[in-house]
Structure 1
Amino acid sequence: MRGVEEVEVVVAHSERVTLRVGDVFLKVDGDPARLAAEVAAMRLAPVPTPDVLWHRPPVLAIAAVPGRALGILGEPSPASPAAWAAAGAAIRRLHDAPPPPWDGGKLAGLDAELERECAWLVDNGVLPAGLVDRNRTIAEAAFRPWTPVFMHGDLQITHVFTDGDEVTGVIDWSEAAPGDPLFDLAILTLGHEERLEDLLAGYGTDVDRDVIRAWWSLRSLTASRWLIEHGFDPSLPGCEFDVLRSRM
C-alpha cells in the first residue's frame, strides 16, 4: 500500500467501520464472532469471494475484487441482463451448497419484529398507517416453511460484482448462515423489481415470486428504523420507502 494518499470511509456506524486503503479493505467490527463467521463463510462459499489478507480481531483485511457492483439502491442498474443472470447462477450454486455449520438466527423472531417496527413507523409518524398496514399484509407471506440453504444474508446489489457478464466477487459475508433462499433473491432485487426475471433466468424460475415480493415489504418495514438511527435515509428515491409505496 506504499504511496497511498488517502483513506476512504466506505461504511461507518456504531457496529462496524469499513475503510478502503488503495486496493485493501479494512473492516473493523465490535463483534469478533461476526468477523470470524465472515472469514469462515468466504472459505466455504462456492462462488468468487475476496481474498483474505489477514485477520487480527477486531480487524479483517481483504483485497478488492475486480469489476463493479451490479448497481446501487435508488439508481438503475448499469449491468446487462446477462450479468444479472450470471449473478443468479452464482446464487444458485451457493444455495445448492451445504449450509454453514452454525446456527442462523437472522430470520428468527421476525413476526414479533415486524409487529414492533410497524408500530414504531406509525406511532412516530414516519409512514402513513394505511401504507404500513398494506405492506404488513403482503409481508406475512414470507412466514412459511422453508428448507435452510447456504444464505448470504446481506446480498445487497452493491455486494455482487461483475466484469462483463461474469461474476467476479461477492462481498460482505458477515450475515451468512443457514436461511431462506428467497430472502437472498429479494434483497438483491430490492428496489430493482424490473431485474427479477433477469436474475431468475440464471437462478431458475422455480421460485414463488409472491414470497419474494413479501420479503421486499418485510425487509423495508423492519430495516427502516435501523437505517434512520444509523444515519441512512430510507426515504431517498428508489429506496425502502419507495419500495413500500410501490406495493400500493
Structure 2
Amino acid sequence: MTHAAHLTETRLSRLLTARDGPLSAPLQITTLPGRSTFLVRTRERPFVVKWRPAPHPLVTIRAASHLMSAREVAHPAVRVPPTPADDHGWWLAVDWLDGTPLADAAAESWDAAQAASVGAGLAHWLKSLHTVRAGRGGWADRAEGVLNVRLERCREAGLVGPALARRVTRRWEDLRPHLSGVRRTLVHRDLQSANIILDGHAVSGVIDFEQARVADPLYDLVKLTDWVFTRHQGIAPAFLAAYGVDVHAPAVEARLSCVFLLEYLAALRYFHRNGPPSLVTDHHAKLDRLLSDGIPLR
C-alpha cells in the first residue's frame, strides 16, 4: 500500500476481523464523506473508523477525548485507540453519533425559535468544552509563535508578499497587548456545519476532533462565524447570548482578531496544498477584509 493510498471497505473488513474486540465482527461497512472514514455497524453498536497515513491526527483525537472525559464533556468516546494497520497507516474507532449534520439540515425553513434553539444549544456545549484547561504558559507567547510560523510558511509558499506580511505584523503589534492573561483551553478548531449534529432543533453533539488544540477559547468562533452563523440569521444572536461574550468589547474584539488572523493564515496554506484554488482566493479576501475592517462578527 503506497503512502498516498486510502483504506477500502474490503481491506477494513479484513483488518477488523483479524483482531479481537468490539469491531471484530462487522455487519456492515459504509464509506462516509471525507478521507478514509467509515461507519461500521456491529451487533453491539455502530462505530466510526478513521484511517490516516500518519498517527498524529488520531493521537490528537485520543488526547482530546481523554481531556474531555476527565471533565465529563459529551463527545463520541474513543473505543479503539490509534492502532497501526497491518502494512501501512493507522486507524482509530469512536462511537457513532446519531442525528443530522447541520450541513444537511433545511436551516432556511427554520423559524426564529428553532434557529435560536440551535444557537443556544451549541453555546452550552462549547462552554462545557472550554472548561477543559490544559497547557502551560500564557496565550500571548504561544500565539505569537504560531503566527510567526504560519506567516513564514505562507511567505515561503508565495501566498503572502512583503506588503501583506508588513500589514499582518503591524496588526499583530496592536493586538498582542490584549492577549496578556488569556487562559488557554481545549478548542475544537473545526466547528463547521458538517461537524455539528442535530436531533431536530437540538444540538446532540459535535464530532471530528482531529484539529483540536489548546488555545484561546475564542478560537472556536472563527469557523462558527464563517460556516455556521451564515446558515440562519437567528443562530448567532442566540449563541452569543448563551455563551456570554460581548464581541464589541475592545479586549474581546482584539482576541477575536488574533484568532481570525491565525486561522486565515492556516487556511491559506491548507487550501494551497489541498485545493480548491477558489478557497485560496476566498481566504486572501477574508484576510484583507480582516486587516482593513476588523472581525466579520458584529
After TM superposition, is the score higher than 0.5?
yes
The one-letter code matched in structure 1 to 2:55 is: G
Q: Against the structure 1 CA distance between its residues 239 and 159, is the aligned structure 2 distance closer, same or farther, given a 3 Å change threshold?
A: farther
Q: Do residues 63 (structure 1) and 95 (structure 2) align?
A: yes
Q: Do residues 8 (structure 1) and 32 (structure 2) align?
A: yes
Q: Distance in 2 between matches of 1:205 and 1:56?
A: 36
Q: Do residues 205 (structure 1) and 242 (structure 2) align?
A: no
Q: Distance in 2 between matches of 1:187 and 1:36?
A: 22
Q: Do residues 30 (structure 1) and 55 (structure 2) align?
A: yes
Q: Against the structure 1 CA distance between its residues 169 and 122, is the aligned structure 2 distance closer, same or farther, given a 3 Å change threshold?
A: same
Please, what is the CA RMSD of the aligned residues?
A: 3.8
Between structures 1 and 2, the one with greater helix share: 2
Aligned to 1:240: 283
Deviations 1:129-175 (A, max 9, x none): 55554455445526612442532242422332222332211223345
SS in 1 for 2:261: helix
Residues 38-117 of structure 1 mapped to structure 2, 5 A cutoff = 38-55=64-81, 57=83, 58-71=90-103, 80-95=115-130, 97-100=131-134, 109-117=142-150
5+ residue gaps, structure 2, are 1-25, 84-89, 293-298
Q: Distance in 1 between matches of 2:259 and 2:151?
A: 15
Normalising by structure 1, we get a TM-score of 0.71
Q: Distance in 1 between matches of 2:28 and 2:101?
A: 26
State the 1:176 CA deviation.
4.5
Normalising by structure 2, we get a TM-score of 0.61
Q: Do residues 184 (structure 1) and 231 (structure 2) align?
A: no
The one-letter code matched in structure 2 to 1:36 is: R
The one-letter code matched in structure 1 to 2:127 is: R
Contact 1:146 1:180 in 2 (8 A): no
* Higher RCO structure (Cα 8 Å, ≥6 apart): 1
SS in 2 for 1:55: strand
Larger radius of gyration: 2
Q: Against the structure 1 CA distance between its residues 219 and 77, is the aligned structure 2 distance closer, same or farther, given a 3 Å change threshold?
A: farther
SS in 1 for 2:34: strand
The one-letter code matched in structure 1 to 2:204 is: T
